[in-house]
Structure 1
Amino acid sequence: MDVLQMGIVLVIVLFLAIIMGRYISQAFSLEGTRLDSIFGGVEKGVYKLGGISTADMTWKQYAKALLLSNIVMFGIGYLIVRMQGFLPGNPSNIAGMDPLLSFNTISSFLTNTNLQHYSGESGLSYFSQMSVIMYLMFTTPATGLALCIAFFRGLTGKRTIGNFYVDLVRAHTRILIPLSVIVGILLIAQGVPQTLHATVQATTIEGIQQQIARGPVAALESIKHLGTNGGGFFGVNSAHPFENPTPLTNVLEIISMFLIPASLPFAFGHMAKSRKQGWIFFSAMALMFVAFLSLAYIAESNGNPALEKIGLSQSEGSMEGKEVRFGIAQSALFTTVTTAATTGTVNNMHDTLTPLGGIVPLGLMMLNCVFGGDGVGTINMLMYAILAVFLAGLMVGRTPEFLGRKIEGKEMKLIAITILVHPIITLLPTAWALVTSMGSSAISNAGFHGISQVLYEFTSSAANNGSGFEGLGDNTPFWNVSTGIVMLLGRYLSMIAMIAVAGSLLAKKPVPETLGTFKTDNSTFMVILLSTVLIVGALTFFPVIALGPIAEWLTIR
């Protein structure tokens, strides 16, 4: 029954992703489509109001526009959360946020990470939640989608890389806003609150006064998942009955956060005019996803030996930290999806996963290409595809080509930098935190699990995921500054490098296909691609996995 219910959810995702992939390719088309007659009027109004030129950009202009817009958003967001105590929309009288915590919070939501070192219901006013958090929850996935589409254009040889502002607006008007309205209404229908009224004071059956937080929860939840944002209106995230009240909302949230990432390989296939190409990338991601999901489900179903040793029954699996209403299956599926899609929302406590189960979220964030967030994961997989083509070309003594463009030294240097940045900004801060009192003092569980806690925090930050083991005392100057810097580096260094690769490939003349051309739309290439991803991932991250989750598992057996 568990396998059946997980399978049904994934089949629904696949069906919707195929449809959504075609839609995304049309939504960002450089040619006129029927969607222009529906959304074009509103979009032209936005361009006119904002004084936006819709002329084509070079890759450098595209990157500059992306960075400048994000810098402005950072400044405005930082000021609002610092001054929220004096601003309207604050019926609970929440004070302004601490300067370093503000830096971490805005860095987190600006980079589509949504790591929270604060509790949502007590750390932010309604005005901050809506004008900063929800605003960034729209603009940051829209930024990722825009970059992804520009990258697709560079690889597929379109006439131009596009215009960042046009792509940003289209991501809002044609995808995120319509979908968030639909999902928000469905969540409200299932009992998720949507109100601007203050916290309710209730009297419990014991006669004790209790404060029950509420607010515009449904609006945040819809874009939180559709934008692969993560975070939560409440501190316990999607385990809270106001954020995720029923099994139906749990399935809806899984589908929401998986929909756009799963559809992007199909969108790429349409833009490349090769559906087989899209299916190859989707299949490679899907195989890794199913493998990780199987590990999570089996590990949690088998129970935790450490709990069994102290007399706690594990006949129903390891239910520590999980909601009984979701059980092992939906908890394992949620955990795998949220880290595969780099969303970061959680419906169970990752800190209480079994050691082998904990490898799943860590591994998915370390690879950072098993679907990934809105745009970023597919870009990373395409990056590995170019690397795989390059290696295959070297083995047969032929200049590598991908989709009719030669892969040369410039592109490979940029890709090498991107591949190296991720482990560097994950492993070096982890080592630093473990050997200094500023970092190690936050660990709540000594030993191998403590290593996993620190590793998870920086892996989540570097992958722009945002989930946490939550056993870490991370609201300190050290953690706020270090993870804030890692989040910014993890987001923007790879973005700049990948848009540069797209610009470089777009400038090249297409090479005609010959008998010696290495095909990238068959199962042979998929095997090479999978091998490249897994070998690079194992070489960079397996040693630290061995020191954390694997060592912990061996000690509790």
Structure 2
Amino acid sequence: MSTSSLTLLAVFLLVLLALAWPLGAFLARVGESEAPLRGLGWLHAIERGFYRVAGIKGGSADHAMGWKAYAIALIVFNALGTVFVYAVQRLQSWLPLNPQGLANVSPDSSFNTAVSFVGNTNWQGYSGEQTMSYLTQMVALATQNFLSAATGIAVVFALIRAFAARSTNSIGNFWVDVTRATLYVLLPLSLILSIFLMGQGVIQNFDAYKEVTLLDKVEYSIPKTGTDGQPLKDAQGQPVMAAQTATTQTIAMGPVASQEAIKMLGTNGGGFFNANSAHPYENPTAATNFAQMIAIFLIPAALCFAFGRIVGDIRQGWAVLGAMTLVFVAMTLVVFAAEQQAHPVLQSLGVDQAASTLQAGGNMEGKETRFGISASSLFAAVTTAASCGAVNAMHDSLMPLGGAVPLLLMQFGEVIFGGVGSGLYGMLVFAIMAVFIAGLMIGRTPEYLGKKIQAYEMKMVSIAILVTPVLVLAGTAIAVVSEAGTAGIANPGAHGFSEILYAFSSAANNNGSAFAGLSANTPFYNAMLAIAIWFGRFAVIVPVLAIAGSLASKQRLPVNGGTMPTHGPLFIALLIGVVLLVGVLNYVPALALGPVIEHLQLFN
């Protein structure tokens, strides 16, 4: 493990902490109060206008909801968003802002993409620059990047209010929460980041694609075909090849910076280009690469501080953030170690893989030389820990144990920072389980932040925790035993199994990254992954809101001599143990069939 890797990790965490602390204070004001915020008061009139559209009488934000009304509003809002995104894709060839004349997207791909972007997953089985028009990218996909992120923030605000409440039947108002999260948090931050990205070279235009002349001609061969369209073969049965020379290249354009900003800040991850953040127009410099990693973690980390402020004990926020950080650092160090070792197959061929002034050393397959092993490995850990899914290297090319870490970070339930909002409410669900287990050990009714944890809460916790493993394991099992599922595998054996396991882990946990070796843009995978995405998102949100409704109605008990502290090292260790235990127990057999076997085969 190199010194540069450790330095990069340390600087990353320090900058993240410095930015997340003040943002956490701001987020607490957004979630606690419905009043205009200092410096953004001019947005209040727009905010009230949205309330009128949502049917809140008189433009007032005081129409509180119970958890069931909140959940219904959330589901209906996201279902309508799904229909809208689907319709735009199916009609894009007749809509404006399509200078390339791109065709309508197929029904199964449109369905998968619509569910994916509404579910904050942004799984992409297509090549963005060859499939989606500028209008589709902006009006359908980028809009849902904002709204899906705002939905996650709304849910975590509702749960935090429940812990802070003294006894009420309300957990807030969904329309108020999603509006304030978008207007006061996501839009301003995205504007700032997009301006920075444009200054670094990320493009932002509506130009048609450019046809440019290559400095060096590229010669290649393609199979000749006969009049019947079938490949011609010689006497030995080999294809007859025709020499070709490429003198030009098509360079894609588009409004990239604006989408790139919310893609990262909202932990969405959908790339404008197929190469995602490995593309120089999305991520041109080391500065943009670092800024994008910070942007992915910024709001999830800041929400931890907002949580502590709203419940009246900032130590609670530090405890949750500490648990997330410790697991993240440990997993990142594993990726560093795995990727900085020599590939044994290349080593056996006598290929020099030692670090020097001319090369980074280690496994550079699938990585950008602009970023090297350290920045690529850190990006892989950040994007899968935070439910983002953006990539600046191909995870399919990671070493077996290096690829196992992104898998595990998703399979923990995307709670190690996790998605915007979803990471914190997922971690709080694990915190409830942790105090329940601790209560069983000492024979006391468990409490968390003054709220008794009883049978109803634990039933909802069980549903929220178990739904994603069921979706991942059942989906993987169906795919590996069906012809339609195995047809997409490019690499047979353990690695091919890992590709399928990664796809369903990414979908059900709303991450969106891929191993990239699986041909998933088929009716089978588009349908199966869309189902995993939808239920992985909303079958977790509804139980979380049910927990919020139950806790909000309970009196907040004062701290006494028998209250278990939930802000110290002991609780942090217990919380980490519960997260790791649940993740390991659910997925050990599947991991053994994939990356573990592949590692043993590679190094045997």
TM-score, normalization by structure 1: 0.98
Match of 1:43 among 40, 47, 60: 47
Task: Specify the code of the residue in structure 2 equivalent to 1:280.
Answer: A
Give the aligned partner of residue 357 of structure 2. Answer: none
Deviation (angstroms), 1:33: 6.2
Give the aligned partner of residue 181 of structure 1. Answer: 191
Give the aligned partner of residue 366 of structure 2. Answer: 321
Q: State the distance in 1 between where 2:330 and 2:430 align.
A: 19
Deviation (angstroms), 1:209: 2.1
**Deviations 1:73-106 (Å, cap 9, x if unpaired)?**
1111111100101111110000000001100010
Quick check: 1:152–1:268 contact (8 Å CA) kept in 2?
Answer: yes
**Deviations 1:303-334 (Å, cap 9, x if unpaired)?**
32233233333220100000011011100110
SS at match of 1:91: coil
Quick check: 1:146–1:168 contact (8 Å CA) kept in 2?
Answer: yes
1:280 aligns with 2:319: yes
Quick check: 2:54–2:175 contact (8 Å CA) kept in 1?
Answer: no
Deviation (angstroms), 1:34: 4.1
Q: State the distance in 1 between where 2:588 and 2:176 align.
A: 42
Report which stretch shifted further, 346-355 or 539-548: 539-548
1:489 aligns with 2:535: yes
Give the aligned partner of residue 161 of structure 1. Answer: 171
Q: State the distance in 2 between where 1:210 and 1:525 align.
A: 57
Structure having the higher Rg:
2
1:338 aligns with 2:383: yes
Q: State the distance in 2 between where 1:478 and 1:372 align.
A: 28
Deviation (angstroms), 1:518: 1.3
Match of 2:306 among 247, 267, 272: 267
1:217 aligns with 2:284: no
Match of 1:383 among 429, 434, 437: 429
Q: State the distance in 2 between where 1:281 and 1:67 align.
A: 28
Match of 2:24 among 21, 25, 32: 21
Give the aligned partner of residue 104 of structure 2. Answer: 96
Deviation (angstroms), 1:247: 0.5
Deviation (angstroms), 1:537: 1.1
Structure number having the greater helix percentage: 1
Quick check: 2:5–2:336 contact (8 Å CA) kept in 1?
Answer: no
Quick check: 2:488–2:519 contact (8 Å CA) kept in 1?
Answer: yes
Where does 1:412-491 land on structure 2 (aligned, <5 Å)?
412-491=458-537
Report which stretch shifted further, 263-272 or 151-160: 151-160
Give the aligned partner of residue 12 of structure 1. Answer: 15
Q: State the distance in 1 between where 2:466 and 2:53 align.
A: 42
Q: State the distance in 2 between where 1:312 and 1:134 align.
A: 44
Quick check: 1:190–1:249 contact (8 Å CA) kept in 2?
Answer: yes
Quick check: 1:295–1:360 contact (8 Å CA) kept in 2?
Answer: yes
Question: Percent sequence identity over matched residues?
Answer: 45
Give the aligned partner of residue 73 of structure 1. Answer: 81
Q: State the distance in 2 between where 1:50 and 1:279 align.
A: 36
Give the aligned partner of residue 202 of structure 2. Answer: 192
1:234 aligns with 2:273: yes
Give the aligned partner of residue 289 of structure 1. Answer: 328
Report which stretch shifted further, 3-12 or 196-205: 3-12
**Deviations 1:349-370 (Å, cap 9, x if unpaired)?**
0000000100110000000210
Quick check: 1:26–1:33 contact (8 Å CA) kept in 2?
Answer: no
Where does 1:514-529 land on structure 2 (aligned, <5 Å)?
514-529=560-575
Give the aligned partner of residue 64 of structure 1. Answer: 72
Task: Specify the code of the residue in structure 2 equivalent to 1:499.
Answer: L
Q: State the distance in 2 between where 1:208 and 1:130 align.
A: 32
Quick check: 2:308–2:315 contact (8 Å CA) kept in 1?
Answer: yes
TM-score, normalization by structure 2: 0.91
Task: Specify the code of the residue in structure 1 equivalent to 2:19.
Answer: L
1:365 aligns with 2:410: yes
Q: State the distance in 2 between where 1:240 and 1:34 align.
A: 37
SS at match of 2:32: coil
Quick check: 2:204–2:256 contact (8 Å CA) kept in 1?
Answer: yes
Quick check: 2:36–2:44 contact (8 Å CA) kept in 1?
Answer: no
1:252 aligns with 2:298: no
**Deviations 1:10-61 (Å, cap 9, x if unpaired)?**
2101111111111100112136464473532221132234543431111111
Gaps of 5+ in 1: none
Q: State the distance in 1 between where 2:517 and 2:408 align.
A: 19
**Deviations 1:436-493 (Å, cap 9, x if unpaired)?**
1110111111111111100000000011000000000111111000000000010000
SS at match of 2:298: helix
Deviation (angstroms), 1:232: 0.4
**Deviations 1:203-262 (Å, cap 9, x if unpaired)?**
112271211111000011001001100010000100001100010110111111110011
SS at match of 1:95: coil
Q: State the distance in 1 between where 2:11 and 2:426 align.
A: 28
Q: State the distance in 1 between where 2:409 and 2:141 align.
A: 25
Q: State the distance in 2 between where 1:446 and 1:312 align.
A: 25
Matched residues, number: 557
1:500 aligns with 2:500: no
